[in-house]
Amino acid sequence: MRSVFLFSGTPHDFFALINSLKLNFSRERVNFALKNFLNNNYSMAENIQENEEKKNLNFIEEIVEEDLKEGRNGGRIQTRFPPEPNGYLHIGHAKAICMDFGIAKKYNGICNLRFDDTNPVKEDVEYVDSIQEDIQWLGFQWANVYYASDYFQQLWDLAVRFIKEGKAYVDEQTAEEIAKQKGTPTTPGTESPYRNRPIEENLRLFMEMSEGKIEDGKMVLRAKIDMANPNMHFRDPIIYRIITTHPHHRTGNKWKVYPMYDFAHGQSDYFEGVTHSLCTLEFEVHRPLYDWFIDQFADSDYRPKQREFNRLNITYTVMSKRKMLQLVQEGLVSGWDDPRMPTICGLRRRGYTPSSIREFVKRIGYTKYDGVIDVSLLEATIREELNATAMRASAVIHPIKLILTNYPEGKVEMMEAINNPEDESMGKHEVPFSRELYIEQDDFMEDAPKKYFRLTPGNEVRLKNAYIIKCTGCKKDANGNVTEVYAEYDPETRSGMPGSDRKVKGTIHFVSVQHAVPAEVRLYDRLFNVENPGDEKDKDFRELLNPNSLTIAQSFVEPWLKDVQPLQHFQFQRIGYFNVDPDSAPGKLVFNRTVALKDSWAKIAK
């Protein structure tokens, strides 16, 4: 009778089992059994790996992989990132960028950058340049740069074709009248009185619109589809409007009529050969119209596939371009790159890195449901990265002078400080130590509560990388404000000496007065006082601004920091993570706080 048993383990375990059973198997039988064992285990491992990879796919990747499996578009993958050049990119765009470029990279495709420049009233070359800079800073590179304006002639020709085929007409009603006739989701719309104009008349009027003979707002071209369709986007959407008052940033005054987004977007995807047109959820209801427009002129089976994912909303800020523009224009922030803004250039100036933003996007993922992400997750991501990579330095933000009364006058010692305890390869640097030091005002309290472990008369603390000191008193001005703190140092407790092992409960940092370098430190915090400013319907969003989102301190830093370069990152010990602001210049250091060492808002929320 044949015996069958199942075994799970390593090849070494397999041979040990054979030997322990003392079975008289020939070498051929053992090798045959081992081969089956390895094949079964490798097959199982491959299945586990394959299942794990599938489990880690987001739903867009699942769609792409299914398309590849079915041989759609000959296995070709092409995406695009299509910003409107009417503002600076924000972190919500970063999520879309990571998706568009990430899909192309993962599946050996290409991603193009296409500017949807169909509204010259709001567009500017400044925005075109900033968008390209931000994409590259995030670590992505497009295959080609396109513009919707590249296709203006093709789109115009298509509009003429629609008119000739009875699929479009010129409407002379006002925007308000057209909107009123749209109906509601449960009530059919009302046909325009111009809907059944003769084709020849529509062609003549559209030509007059195109030649600049008609004033802005007097006429529009509408697609003739279905005024009773339950999808209101099908109720004769406007596809062209007149704009003669603003030259286009690329084509100047050549065009007098411009296509609407819904008419230009899908057709541009089709002209370029996009396989996967990825956008945010608000465009899901536009998808049937996207497909309908392409179906009217496509001459092959090829179709770009539009799919939607959730947009990124973050607490304590606004993502609306209109609201951000208000903040800039009204001087409520210093500009689009103000470190309190959610713009990519603002985050860069604040001290966020490309890798931290990409990691944040990876952590929050992509779903089919909109929601609001807690900004503390973004802050935690940069905090983790800088903890591992940022050089440590001492900075005294709100200084008060500490005098060691028993330390020799004129004497200077160089103390050794670790650059980053998380990375030994970053080495060490020297810190000057002298009789007079700057410490943080908060590190001294004359009448301290019981669990205050910093400087207070009669109490001992350790000066980081230096000595243990004992506070002996302080000096006050006429108003009772402390101006100097006095202490004595213990010469046997220098770091590294046997006496330094004495236990004290508090450690504070310092900067030598003689060697201190002045610096302006900008302490940035959250821009708004409420989690979701958009939810406060009964208040103007500007009333919700956090008055303490920026405070400026005149501080002192270690001497070696005088030669730092803009955007370099540091951990100011016991305070937070900072970077050098572009406003810095020789003799005028400026640091921005990227994020505090700990999330102080979590305590406030409790």
**Closest of 466, 467, 469 to residue 430, by C-alpha:** 466
Q: Given CA atoms 55, 57, 60, 64 in this order, what sign does their dihedral have?
A: negative
Q: Given CA atoms 101, 341, 338, 551 in this order, what sign does their dihedral have?
A: negative
The identity of residue 456, as a single letter, is: T
Token pair of 606 as six digits = 């409790």
**Closest of 389, 148, 375, 359 to residue 248, by C-alpha:** 148
- Whole-number Å distance between alpha carbons of 404 and 591: 29
Using an 8 Å Cβ cutoff, are 14 and 36 in contact?
no
- Whole-number Å distance between alpha carbons of 69 and 63: 10
Catalytic positions, please?
A: 84, 311, 321
Question: What string of DSSP letters covers 85-100?
Answer: SSS--BHHHHHHHHHH
Pinpoint the alpha helices (H) of 369-448.
Answer: 375-389
**Strand pairing partners for 444?**
455
- Whole-number Å distance between alpha carbons of 581 and 565: 9
- Whole-number Å distance between alpha carbons of 457 and 451: 14
- Whole-number Å distance between alpha carbons of 380 and 450: 32
Token pair of 257 as six digits = 């009529």
Backbone phi, then psi, for 201, in 5-degree steps?
A: -70, -40
Which residues have CB under 8 Å from 457's CB, separation 6+?
Answer: 446, 471, 472, 473, 474
Which residues have CB under 8 Å from 257's CB, separation 6+?
Answer: 156, 206, 209, 210, 221, 240, 241, 242, 243
- Whole-number Å distance between alpha carbons of 540 and 335: 20
Strands 220-223 vs 168-171: parallel, antiparallel or unpaired: antiparallel
Query: How many other CB atoms are found less than 10 A from the CB of residue 242?
Result: 21
- Whole-number Å distance between alpha carbons of 429 and 449: 36
Token pair of 26 as six digits = 């020939």
CA 104 from chain centre, in angstroms, equals 19
Strands 468-476 vs 482-489: parallel, antiparallel or unpaired: antiparallel
- Whole-number Å distance between alpha carbons of 285 and 283: 5
Which residues have CB under 8 Å from 508's CB, separation 6+?
Answer: 439, 440, 443, 454, 455, 461, 462, 463, 464, 574
- If you search the block for the tokens 């001459």, which residue do you land on? 299
The identity of residue 12, as a single letter, is: H
- Whole-number Å distance between alpha carbons of 65 and 598: 41
- Whole-number Å distance between alpha carbons of 565 and 468: 34
- Whole-number Å distance between alpha carbons of 273 and 209: 30
Which residues have CB under 8 Å from 181's CB, separation 6+?
Answer: 173, 189, 190, 191, 192, 227
